[in-house]
């Protein structure tokens, strides 16, 4: 995935960002006060859509009170308090929260239940920046899907292997991580009956 800044130079707040989102196709985020366009490759999109379909199936099967979407924008904060606008590849929101403001944009300032990021070449964003911002927002569950093993060996081991990382917020508001590879079944707090292995997620 390449990220190309738009020509807009002024520093924007999250509210200004939502009002000025471009009409062009693509995903956009507010990063350090500027709108950036996310341009995922086709395989990245296939992985994300496959996971989204699996989670939507789980919602329907067990009649869960969730809304699953790839179009939700989240207001997050950096360590110095700067507003960011993040658009995860997949967001799972409590449908009561989602339906509480039916005529507003697809933007949230409250924490959703779960977010999924499919790793691209700018892998540090998912492993470091977004991890910190999502933890600060209080998102209970965060998945990092590194299907091309792009992250560093500190995360993926040596040799590096494609991995699904699941971060769960503990009682102190700190993420605790579990790594899943191969035929290991992913354990999700949001979807406790999910029967999905890392291999099924990574090999689309």
Please tell me the pTM assigned to this model: 0.89
The H-assigned helical ranges of the chain are: 14-19, 42-62, 95-99, 123-124, 130-137, 153-156, 198-202
Q: What is the pLDDT of residues 36-66, one digit of tens each?
A: 888 888 899 999 999 999 999 999 999 999 9
User: Counting Cβ atoms within 10 Å, is residue 73 exposed (0-12), middle (13-18) or buried (19+)?
Assistant: buried
- Domain at 41-202: CATH architecture: Alpha-Beta Complex (3.90)
Q: Are 116 and 90 in contact (CB under 8 A)?
A: yes
**Euclidean distance between CA atoms 82 and 146, whole angstroms:** 27
User: Counting Cβ atoms within 10 Å, is residue 22 exposed (0-12), middle (13-18) or buried (19+)?
Assistant: exposed
Q: What is the pLDDT of residues 186-204, one digit of tens each?
A: 999 999 999 999 999 998 6
**Euclidean distance between CA atoms 203 and 47, whole angstroms:** 8
């Amino acid at each position: 995935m390449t990220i190309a800044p738009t020509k807009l130079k002024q520093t924007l707040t999250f509210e200004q960002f939502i009002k000025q989102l471009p009409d062009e196709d693509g995903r956009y985020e507010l990063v350090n006060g500027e709108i950036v366009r996310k341009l995922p490759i086709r395989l990245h999109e296939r992985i994300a859509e496959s996971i989204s379909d699996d989670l939507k199936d789980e919602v329907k099967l067990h009649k869960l009170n969730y809304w699953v979407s790839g179009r939700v924008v989240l207001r997050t904060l950096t360590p110095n308090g700067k507003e960011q606008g993040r658009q995860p590849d997949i967001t799972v929101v409590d449908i009561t929260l989602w339906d509480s403001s039916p005529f507003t944009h697809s933007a949230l300032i409250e924490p959703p239940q779960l977010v999924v990021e499919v790793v691209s070449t700018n892998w540090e964003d998912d492993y470091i920046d977004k991890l910190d911002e999502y933890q600060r927002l209080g998102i209970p569950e965060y998945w990092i899907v590194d299907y091309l093993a792009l992250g560093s060996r500190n995360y993926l081991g040596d040799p590096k292997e494609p991995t699904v990382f699941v971060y769960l917020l503990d009682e102190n508001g700190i993420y605790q991580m579990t790594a899943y590879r191969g035929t290991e079944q992913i354990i999700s707090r949001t979807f406790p009956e999910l029967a999905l292995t890392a291999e099924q997620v990574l090999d689309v």
